[in-house]
Amino acid sequence: MDSAIRIRDLEKEYGEVRALKGVDLDVPKGSFFGLLGPNGAGKTTFINILVGLVKKSGGTAEVFGADVEDDYREARDRIGLAPQEFNVDRFFPIREVLEHKAGYHGIPKSEARDRADEVLKRVGIYDKRDTRFDWLSGGMKRRFVLARALITEPDLLILDEPTAGVDVQLRHDLWDLITELNESGTTILLTTHYIEEAERLCDEVAILDSGQIVEVASPEELMGRGPDKVTISLRNPPESAPHLSAGRDKIQDIELDGDELVVTAPEAGLLAPELVRELDRKGFEIVHFDISRTSLEEVFVEMTRTGETTGNESPDEDDRDDSDLAAIAGGDGA
């Protein structure tokens, strides 16, 4: 497989905290890949290692075959990062910020202006080109960090919580935009706490918990593993859930909630006709009927339930490289 990201035995320790504990991962070229995990799982650390903001403690990390430390420049030039936290030079008009960043990546001045205009149009804030970052609304700031990630026409776009705190309209705009980018060949690595976002967009997800990958699969595959629910509304509900012999071995739970009978079972859709026939035989009148699949969110919660992670919230100490956020603000990084 051709990998955009190839990770082997990746380790990161921050003093006593083992943020990554021997991670192996391949992100295929051209894929839309989700990195999911509860707070403190190690997602940002993982991303920061890829973009050179954090030094790994062990293992290897390559982006399109370039080692993120030994071939830093090459790796970095192929990545566009839209980070979770805004780290933008606040005092310059945003078009200039983009031009500086283009310059940092070796794009000639004559071309930098055109590119800046193009990405500002693409994310829908061209009319704000002469405004400084501070004066943009929260949603415009999100659009801007995406524009900044796109200025180098990256082959790998890393989006760390791209839709955190944005309204529904913008979320949909951003989804459309990143889907288009993916369709035109850009590999996308997305971290998000909106599991629905990953379910909708990603063709594969990795679940990271307490610094370890616990699963890599497509959202479809993961959802297929959870049980489904059949909800049957009855006109004449009984006092308590009736005993059902249909699919007895498969049914995990039967619950009566008002006039709704909820049956939980794997592949419950296959069981549904039998359930309906049996209820009919027993004299129940069925008014409404619905089958719902387990959501990715339910599977995710189940998989990470025991992972109390490291118990850390925000880090106190900062263990970043010298070329960290300050450098990014000046043109490097993101």
Ligand X SMILES: Nc1ncnc2c1ncn2[C@@H]1O[C@H](COP(=O)(O)OP(=O)(O)OP(=O)(O)O)[C@@H](O)[C@H]1O
**Contacts with ligand X, residue ranges (CB under 6 A):** 14, 17, 19, 37, 39-45, 310, 312, 315, 317-319
CB of 177 to ligand X, least distance (A): 23
- Joined together, the tokens standing for residue 98 give 């983009």
Can you tell me the distance from the alpha carbon of 160 to that of 148, in angstroms, rounded to the nearest whole number? 14
Min dist CB 222 to ligand X, Å, is: 19
Smaller CB separation from ligand X, 45 or 294: 45
Distance CA 50, CA 31 (A): 17
Instruction: Note whether 30 and 185 are within 8 A (CB).
Output: yes
Q: Which is nearer to ligand X, 19 or 268 (CB)?
A: 19
Q: Which residues pair with 7 in a beta bridge?
A: 25, 61
User: Residue 53 or residue 116: which is nearer to ligand X going by CB?
Assistant: 53
Q: State the number of CA atoms in the 13 A half-sphere of 291 facing the CB.
A: 13
* Shortest distance, position 82 Cβ to ligand X, whole Å: 14
Contacts 24+ apart (CB under 8 A), 194-200: 194/163, 195/36, 195/295, 195/296, 195/297, 195/300, 196/295, 196/296, 196/297, 197/163, 197/171, 198/34, 198/36, 198/296, 199/223, 199/295, 199/296, 199/297, 200/175
CB 309 to ligand X: min, Å: 7
H-helix or E-strand spanning residue 26: strand 17-28
Q: How far is the CB of 298 from ligand X (least distance, A)?
A: 19
Q: Which has the closest alpha carbon to 194: 223, 226, 165?
A: 165
- Least Å from the CB of residue 127 to ligand X: 32
Closest to ligand X by CB, 125 or 296: 296
Least distance from ligand X to the Cβ atom of residue 61, Å: 14
Phi, psi of 300 (to 5 degrees): -60, -45
Of 37 and 139, nearer to ligand X (C-beta) is: 37
Distance between start and end Cα atoms, the chain: 27
Residue closer to ligand X (CB basis): 44 or 187: 44
Beta carbon nearer to ligand X, 44 or 264: 44
* The pair of three-digit structure tokens given for residue 184, joined into one six-digit string: 């035109």
